[in-house]
């Protein structure tokens, strides 16, 4: 059998937005196959296990019987620029108040539901003597009387909204100020990069940045598949009802996935600019970090890769293995800055070994929570 008869089969179950709210075993698996290109053979890929989030790519000797069959490899009609060029350069992190606001929401909801239940059962509770008359009292606001428990719950329900507004005002102002007075770009020298070897890095920071300390680490992760290509892998038309975990297409101006391919159009925290002009880089839904090292400007440093080893860099409509150098720069009297430097990493000679894919929060505010753990 000639190599031209070989087929590539790709199976994947990629975490949707807010993956912690989904059970992987209840999510559908996309399966797509296409003839392999003899001139550029497709390498196998095995990330994760069948019971969780995974991407499995096999090269078969004959055409598989199941799944979606394509006459050529997966293609995408999206007019998107290379993804690695978007997660690049200076980045800011959302104000920590965004995380505080979200943490208060469950408490406000619980207190509000409790108030409703108690209000409904109020006559019975009063009759049994379980509830005092003081708790059953009403509070007069204007011309209307409101149950005391509802009034007590109101601050905790309204507080997250007010905190969000304050955080957004601060973030928008900071983005405007940063865009007007952007620090000089960093000078970075990077040695040969392999997924199982330490990375040689020399970072030179201009004095105008005002850096007091520089933390550095290597990150690898999976960017989300393109929406159109993923729909095709599920055998769905763009206008058809999407499978669980996929949203319907949003208006073009809202599609953050066309910018860094990791978002679904969340409006908070508020982000100014688009594409490379975005100053907030959304977290990758699946990513692993190497060990953090404190480095000095102009001095060569060696950074350990994330555990694995992971496969090397790869970008396409369905599979996107993205490597980047993350620099965390502290400054006196100001919030820290981040610099993302895309890396072109080659496969390890021994291959890759990633038995489990663990999903992370891809909410923009999670960038603050994740990086704050590394600031200690």
208 and 243 inside one domain:
yes
| 78 is a domain residue | no
| 221 is a domain residue | yes
- Residue finishing a domain among 110, 136, 171: 171
| 76 is a domain residue | no
| 74 is a domain residue | no
pLDDT 10s digits, 26-36: 999 999 999 99
249 and 156 inside one domain:
no
157 and 64 inside one domain:
no
For helices 97-120 and 148-180, the axis angle rounded to 10 degrees is 160
Whole-number Å distance between alpha carbons of 44 and 109: 47
Degrees to nearest 5, angle at CA 234 with 242 and 258: 65
**Residue 198's pLDDT is what?**
96
- Residue finishing a domain among 145, 171, 197: 171
pLDDT 10s digits, 124-181: 777 777 777 666 667 777 777 777 777 878 888 899 999 999 999 999 999 999 988 8
| 315 is a domain residue | yes
Least confident range from 15-19, 111-115, 253-257, 324-328: namely 253-257
**Residue 79's pLDDT is what?**
42
Domain of residue 19 covers 3-69
Mean pLDDT on 275-295: 85
| 235 is a domain residue | yes
Number of domains in the chain: 3
48 and 117 inside one domain:
no
| 182 is a domain residue | yes
194 and 317 inside one domain:
yes
pLDDT 10s digits, 42-99: 999 999 999 999 999 999 988 888 888 887 777 654 444 455 566 889 988 888 898 8
18 Rama class: left (phi>0) / alpha (psi -120 to 50) / beta: left
56 and 90 inside one domain:
no
pLDDT bracket for residue 38 (50, 70, 90): confident
What torsion do the CA atoms of 250, 253, 259, 263 make, to the nearest 10 degrees? Answer: -40
Scanning 67-212, the segments in alpha helix (DSSP H) are: 97-120, 122-128, 148-180
Neighbours of 245 (CB within 10 A): 19
Q: Which of 279, 275, 288, 168 minimizes the C-alpha distance to 222? A: 288
247 and 322 inside one domain:
yes
Asked if the model's pLDDT at residue 272 lies above 80, the reply is no
pLDDT 10s digits, 224-234: 888 888 888 88
265 and 344 inside one domain:
yes
181 and 266 inside one domain:
yes
Mean pLDDT on 318-342: 92
């Amino acid at each position: 059998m000639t190599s031209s008869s070989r087929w590539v089969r790709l199976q994947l179950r990629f975490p949707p937005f807010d993956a912690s709210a989904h059970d992987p075993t209840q999510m559908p698996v996309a399966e797509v196959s296409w003839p392999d290109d003899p001139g550029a053979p497709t390498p196998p890929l095995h990330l994760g296990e069948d019971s969780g989030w995974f991407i499995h790519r096999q090269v078969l000797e004959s055409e598989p019987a199941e799944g979606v069959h394509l006459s050529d490899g997966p293609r995408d009609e999206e007019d998107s620029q290379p993804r690695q060029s978007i997660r690049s350069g200076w980045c800011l992190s959302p104000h920590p108040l965004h995380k505080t606001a979200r943490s208060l929401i469950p408490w406000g909801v619980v207190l509000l539901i409790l108030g409703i239940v108690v209000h409904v059962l109020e006559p019975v509770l009063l009759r049994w003597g379980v509830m005092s008359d003081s708790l059953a009292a009403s509070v007069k606001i204007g011309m209307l009387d409101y149950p005391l428990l509802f009034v007590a719950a109101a601050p905790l329900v309204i507080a997250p909204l007010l905190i969000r507004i304050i955080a957004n005002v601060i973030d928008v102002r900071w983005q405007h100020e940063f865009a007007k007075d952007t620090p000089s770009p960093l000078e970075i020298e990077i040695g040969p990069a392999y997924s199982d070897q330490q990375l040689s890095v020399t970072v030179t920071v201009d004095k105008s940045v005002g850096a007091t300390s520089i933390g550095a680490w290597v990150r690898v992760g999976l960017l989300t598949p393109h929406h159109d290509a993923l729909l095709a892998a599920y055998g769905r038309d763009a206008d058809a009802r999407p499978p669980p975990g996929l949203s319907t297409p949003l208006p073009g101006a809202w599609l953050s996935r066309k910018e860094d391919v990791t978002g679904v159009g969340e409006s908070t925290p508020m982000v100014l600019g688009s594409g490379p002009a975005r100053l907030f880089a959304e977290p990758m839904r699946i990513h692993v970090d190497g060990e953090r090292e404190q480095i000095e400007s102009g001095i060569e440093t060696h950074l350990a890769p994330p555990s694995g080893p992971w496969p090397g860099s790869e970008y396409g409509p369905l599979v996107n293995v993205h490597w980047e150098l993350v620099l965390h720069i502290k400054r006196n009297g100001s919030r820290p800055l981040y610099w993302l430097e895309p890396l072109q990493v080659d496969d390890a000679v021994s291959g890759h070994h990633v038995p489990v894919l663990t999903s992370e929060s891809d909410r923009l505010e999670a960038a603050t929570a994740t990086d704050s753990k590394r600031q200690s």
